[in-house]
Structure 1
């Protein structure tokens, strides 16, 4: 299947590791020009070196705090200066912060919303003129299944993710007339540094394969997912192959969510 990335430029926030890195790697391997954004310049450089080694593509690295509006303006401007356009935006930056409601103070609420919700807003707003000029712009907001089915002690993350889903639906309707598609993916248990830390701290006697397939995770497909599997879905949603898909969300969770 031709995904149609040649001649296109993508910005991936949180692009130095995990799902963001895997997405940047896949987009680059399919011919896109890619800018990756994260706070850690060392991590960005390491990611860029690995992408170049495996794809032969040089990616643009931008060290920035995506929660700050000026950082979004800087990142988009550098991308346009380097590649001349922006066609794809993957809003992936975020961390997991899950505690009981009574334990979440104002600063924690503000920090989480600034990163996960307003970060996506800032980047979409700055990229919008270029996505319009593209004629076939695409945005994917990376959220979590907890945004659809928030549980106890899931704050503030579940609320930020739910807001990201509402943002996705509203933007998809506003931007459809410009042929800009906006979708979301809802992540379940996917291999990441955080999941690997949990593995090493709770089950150091198990191999990764044993830990990933442990029935205690209650994943219907029987294992924790890989970042590359999430990247494949994201790449499809921002590709020409999904040209009639907008305003929807896709669970990437091995079937664990109780909702569509």
Structure 2
């Protein structure tokens, strides 16, 4: 099966570990040239070494919220690879508190990281994506669709990312640019691994992952490759008629389509 990645170039923010790292590996193995972007250079170097065994990859050490970061990321990618076909806005984190405990700087920082960084990098990449069409994938979260209590500001930032995705898909389709989002639920990550070690170190990961308290219909916390599989498909030629979609990757745990 041909995913159509051969010779294409993908930029992935937040790609030194987790879902971004796994997706980078899959795209490189399918023939894409991949530019990794993240803050931590040690992890970037490690990721590049591992992925380069399967395909062509390089990295840019960058905080996506820094001034001029978007231009530096895109300019660096063009200088290295000469084109951009896929942009995956994956940089983010989890910051969730009750409304009355969230300070204004927390709001600003969260929105800068999860929403405005994606806006800026997408804008910087747009002239190159317009040349031959391509795909933008914005990472959001399933809780952005049905925010629970004490989930601010992260659910608001993610909900805004979904709205942005739909609006972008309407505006950019004329250029052959598809824009989608994946709405992540509980997926194995550093944060969840730390929670496991803090909450139930006596359990194996498999036992902890399958606890009833997670309320996952498919029975366990997802793995990074399961999320990366969906992202890889959505950004590929196989999904050439999919745009403006918000796809849940949550084992059925979400309460909205």
User: Which residue does the alignment assign to 2:15?
Assistant: 15
Residues 84-139 of structure 1: CA distance to partner in whole angstroms, max 9, x if unpaired?
10000000000000000001001000000000000100110000001011x23100
1:198-217 mapped onto 2 (5 Å cutoff): 198-217=195-214
Which residue, out of 108, 113, 116, partners 2:114? Answer: 116
Residues 34-93 of structure 1: CA distance to partner in whole angstroms, max 9, x if unpaired?
00100111111011111123x1x2311101111135111001111111111000000000
Which residue, out of 114, 136, 145, partners 1:148? Answer: 145
1:253 paired with 2:246, answer no
**Does structure 1 conserve the Cα–Cα contact (< 8 Å) formed by 2:140 and 2:184?**
yes
| In 1: Cα distance, 2:239 partner to 2:133 partner | 11
Q: What runs of 5+ residues in structure 2 fail to find an aligned partner? A: none
What is the aligned-residue RMSD (CA, Å)? 0.8
User: Which residue does the alignment assign to 2:162?
Assistant: 165
Tell me how many residue pairs correspond in the alignment.
257
User: Which residue does the alignment assign to 2:77?
Assistant: 79
| In 1: Cα distance, 2:6 partner to 2:52 partner | 16
TM-score (norm 2): 0.99
Query: Secondary structure of the equivalent of 1:36?
Result: strand
Which residue, out of 229, 234, 244, partners 1:232? Answer: 229
| In 1: Cα distance, 2:183 partner to 2:221 partner | 14
Which residue, out of 93, 98, 101, partners 1:100? Answer: 98
1:43-82 mapped onto 2 (5 Å cutoff): 43-53=43-53, 55=54, 57-82=55-80
| In 2: Cα distance, 1:9 partner to 1:17 partner | 19
TM-score (norm 1): 0.97
1:190 paired with 2:187, answer yes
| In 2: Cα distance, 1:28 partner to 1:69 partner | 29
1:34 paired with 2:37, answer no
**Does structure 2 conserve the Cα–Cα contact (< 8 Å) formed by 1:69 and 1:122?**
no
**Does structure 2 conserve the Cα–Cα contact (< 8 Å) formed by 1:99 and 1:153?**
yes
| In 1: Cα distance, 2:249 partner to 2:133 partner | 25
Deviating runs (4+, > 3 A) in structure 1?
none
Query: Secondary structure of the equivalent of 2:136?
Result: strand
**Does structure 2 conserve the Cα–Cα contact (< 8 Å) formed by 1:69 and 1:119?**
no
